[in-house]
Amino acid sequence: MQISKFVKRAMGLMVLILGAAATPAWAANVQPVDFTNVAFAPVSGATSIPIGDVGFCQRNPNECRPNTQVVDDVHLTPKNWQQLLDVNSYYNTAIVPETDMALYHVEEFWTYPHGFGDCEDIALAKQRKLVEEGWPASALLMTVVKESDGEGHAVLMVRTDRGDMILDNQDSTIRDWRNSPYHFLKRQSQSDPGAWIAITDTRPNVIVAGTGGQVVTSAAR
């Protein structure tokens, strides 16, 4: 009888250990987050899909299927914050900015870059890399913004318990969306990357500056 009880307890402990090991680090000890907080970009409902993303999803249907597991936000730790810094820095340096017109002879062509690419290509590369490193796809959202000169631009929005963080190929610093110098227009849906959600950005107009405070005027954004 005593042996039987010991075995049962040992088996129960093993289940708990295996269960904890199977739980991804980003999901551990996450407290409910108030998404009405100003650290999160407010949204207002479904909107149009960027034409470049329409083509991307047609060529890469597996990348645009609804997410089977939706994680609302990622709990930031020193480790995964460093992952964001490393990925942002690497792709901002490794990919040479070039326009879709120069590369593909069309105005908009979203794709994973191979040494060259523009803003959305670099954001897609960051998104894919972070998914490979264990981040939930539902927290990594392609986002379309407008610069002060009216030009469109794409960044990667990362939803964390500290707010919506922006990975931008024009800025080596990762900022929350409120401190990013753009007017935010729309982002991918967290439940379905093939659908897009409008962002309600009511902040005053901002000035667009690139890394080191230099004004960015390059067409390869």
Q: Where are the domains of the chain?
A: 30-213
Q: For domain 30-213, give its CATH number from 3.40.720, 3.10.620, 3.40.30, 3.30.160.
A: 3.10.620
Q: In the prediction, which pLDDT does 215 show?
A: 29
Instruction: Check if the beta carbon of residue 153 is closer than 8 Å to that of residue 147.
Output: yes
Find the range with the poorest average confidence among 12-16, 62-66, 87-91: 12-16
Tell me how crowded residue 19 is: count the other CB atoms within 10 A of its CB. 9
User: What average pLDDT does the structure give for the chain?
Assistant: 85
Q: What percent of the chain has pLDDT above 90?
A: 74
- Tokens standing for 144? 């379309």
Q: In the prediction, which pLDDT does 204 show?
A: 80
d(CA 87, CA 135): 12
Instruction: Check if the beta carbon of residue 80 is closer than 8 Å to that of residue 74.
Output: yes
HEC string for the chain:
CHHHHHHHHHHHHHHHHHHHHHCCHHHCCCCCCCCCCCCCCCEEEEECCCHHHHHHHHHCHHHHCCCCCCCCCECCCHHHHHHHHHHHHHHHHHCEECCHHHHHCCCCCCCCCCCEECHHHHHHHHHHHHHHCCCCHHHEEEEEEECCCCCEEEEEEEEECCEEEEEECCEEEEEEHHHCCCEEEEEECCCCCCCEEEECCCCCCCCCCCHHHCCCCCCCC
d(CA 96, CA 116): 5
Nearest to 126 by CA among 116, 138, 145, 113: 113
- Tokens standing for 65? 């299927």
Q: In the prediction, which pLDDT does 81 show?
A: 97
Q: In the prediction, which pLDDT does 24 show?
A: 53
With a cut of 90, say whether residue 36 has pLDDT above it.
no
pLDDT digits (tens, 9 = 90+) for 126-178: 999 999 999 999 999 999 999 989 999 999 999 999 999 999 999 999 999 99
pTM over 0.85: no
Report angle CA 122, 123, 125 to the nearest 5 degrees.
Answer: 65
Q: What is the mean pLDDT of residues 9-27?
A: 44
With a cut of 80, say whether residue 17 has pLDDT above it.
no
pLDDT band for 18, please (50, 70, 90 cuts). very low
Q: In the prediction, which pLDDT does 179 show?
A: 94
With a cut of 90, say whether residue 9 has pLDDT above it.
no
Report angle CA 80, 28, 68 to the nearest 5 degrees.
Answer: 90
Q: What percent of the chain has pLDDT above 70?
A: 78
With a cut of 80, say whether residue 8 has pLDDT above it.
no
Q: In the prediction, which pLDDT does 32 show?
A: 78
d(CA 129, CA 164): 18
Q: In the prediction, which pLDDT does 205 show?
A: 66
pLDDT band for 20, please (50, 70, 90 cuts). very low
pLDDT digits (tens, 9 = 90+) for 92-115: 999 999 999 999 999 999 999 999
φ, ψ at 38 (rounded to 5°): -65, -10
With a cut of 80, say whether residue 206 has pLDDT above it.
no
